Structure 1
């Protein structure tokens, strides 16, 4: 298994480059193409310098409109060299009530704490916001530099989009799962950071850390469900309007050296 390429920052706990992950044809995902992260609201000036040194040109924010309103603009919005793309994965993203913040871990009951629960959530993103999933992947495909895909924890919404991207690139389910599960190494820090933010604190209060640990069965079930219903991840993307050229653009962007 590939060792996660962590990018250690003062203001984020779950930033890593997926470059180096092998593809099934003997290649690998190229570094500096796709980075994944948790919330970017607290980045320091040093952190921003680090990201720019990694060649970041585009930011894909998968959080909801409510999250954006409650947390306000982050420091990266002031960096003029970056292009920001908002692609919420929540169907009810037009909710205007300020306290209507719903997150993937919201309202879970004890008997649902398994991979089926998370897989259902992730399939919900594909069913309810295929436009946002497609849009996020299109940014990765067309970016001139590295794209950072992030949400709040960098696990669920980000994990879904990154899993699809890696599948198109030709990465095995086993290695896609290993990338997803790598978040476990940082989960305590991730939850501590979010619990200190008023917008997320109520959703986290009283929940054990084990609620947030990535389940290694979740991603295989997600990918199997996509194959069962659409045939493959590329065929799912065909179904939401992607052409063969679009798919090849994403694959080349992720795996071919400059």
Structure 2
């Protein structure tokens, strides 16, 4: 994220616009997160089913809210996190920075080394920040270990002139632009803190994680936890319900992970023919409760892109769909359900569960679309083997899920009424919701 000297520049500009009790503590707090472990000191956590990450503003406000009211060190620390989310939007969204290109991260850090002295000079900064004498007794030290000596050493280096080499990405003009935007966002947050107004929301400022699979031998094993129940501060829970592609050859590590995580109820949605071709790797293993519940309606490829939502609706009305949801509700352990690719049948069931829990539709679409990234290698292989197949039918697009949810509402009114129509009574619906959240 932004270098400590940029955080200091933002904070210095804030002191010109606002009155603080102790500018020394404010400025020390503003750079302090960079002295700790990156994840712990910045309160980073996974959310949106491990698909995204956030700075946990709510946690910081919960743990240090009273300190923010009276101590500028904690104000500075909090505003550092505010500036970091501003920086993410600035660099990744506004300027389309791509850190996955080899060498880009290193080049950006080199830009910082060139820009830092400019920032220090241009904003009239002084290398006069001191750690409080009794810092080790500060409440913030419970968050994680802080290497203050390392922080002070790096700060001193920012005030040493460097050769003015060519900039790769992050220019002086961008530094000025970001500092201006960060100041305005911090002022807005300070005003909200003072007036008791709505503050920055971690969930809606989350950023994408790299695609992941919970199992090393699958591509698309994902958790349905940490999706926010719309209109509340509650979330679905991790480790309760897992969507997946078929675990055909689970490794010893996979098996140990599932058992240690209590994910031992397995629901295999594949057709008899699919299972015959590739038997499930957990079907006969001790310690797993394997359920063979075929959903035939999703085993083929739709005739066209336009037919995909209709195929999803047929999955939702499949003969065995009630048994799937009853098994999830009745399971004593956490549940993992799978089809072949974890895309259509699993995607429909995941969507219906999240919807029943009260997760907003846009988040359900997001969860569905992550399959597009996770299954990239699978899609490439399908295209190689079936070059004449229209891949737009196979690869997820947002309209598939949007239209499917519209069809549920057109035919049933609400997702609760849909569940009732397939024989999942309100009592069982509550069991599913309790299972997931």
Q: TM-score, normalised by structure 1?
A: 0.81
- Distance across 1 between alignment mates of 2:289 and 2:380: 29
SS of equivalent to 1:76: coil
* Equivalent residue, structure 1, for 2:418: 236
Counterpart pick for 1:22 among 205, 228, 239? 228
* Equivalent residue, structure 1, for 2:327: 139
Distance 1:35 1:195, change over 3 A: farther
Deviations 1:113-165 (A, max 9, x none): 3xx321011111233x1x42221122222222221110011000100111111
**Corresponding position: 1:88 with 2:279:** no
Counterpart pick for 1:32 among 207, 232, 239? 239
* Equivalent residue, structure 2, for 1:126: 316
| TM-superposed deviation, 1:209 | 5.0
- Distance across 2 between alignment mates of 1:194 and 1:13: 14
Q: Is the 8 A contact 2:383 2:389 kept in 1?
A: no
Q: How does 1:106-255 map to 2 (within 5 A)?
A: 108=303, 112-113=304-305, 116-127=306-317, 129=318, 131-191=319-379, 204=386, 206-207=388-389, 209-255=391-437
Structure with greater helix percent: 2
**Corresponding position: 1:4 with 2:211:** no
Q: Is the 8 A contact 2:264 2:334 kept in 1?
A: yes
* Equivalent residue, structure 2, for 1:97: none
- Structure 1: any 5+ residue segments left out of the alignment? 92-101
**Corresponding position: 1:42 with 2:249:** yes
Point out which structure has higher relative CO (alpha carbons under 8 A, 6+ apart).
Answer: 1
Q: Is the 8 A contact 2:265 2:289 kept in 1?
A: yes
Distance 1:236 1:148, change over 3 A: same
- Distance across 2 between alignment mates of 1:212 and 1:50: 30
Deviations 1:13-67 (A, max 9, x none): 1111111111113311101111111121121122111222222121111100111
| TM-superposed deviation, 1:206 | 4.2
Q: Is the 8 A contact 2:316 2:349 kept in 1?
A: no
Over aligned residues, Cα RMSD in angstroms?
2.3
Larger Rg: 2
- Distance across 2 between alignment mates of 1:26 and 1:90: 38
Q: Which moved more, 1:236-245 or 1:31-40?
A: 236-245
SS of equivalent to 1:218: helix
| TM-superposed deviation, 1:194 | 7.2
- Distance across 1 between alignment mates of 2:356 and 2:327: 14
Q: TM-score, normalised by structure 2?
A: 0.49
Deviations 1:185-212 (A, max 9, x none): 112223467799xxxx6xx464365543
Counterpart pick for 1:103 among 299, 306, 310? 299
- Structure 2: any 5+ residue segments left out of the alignment? 1-46, 53-211
Q: Is the 8 A contact 1:188 1:209 kept in 2?
A: no
Q: Which moved more, 1:82-91 or 1:14-23?
A: 82-91
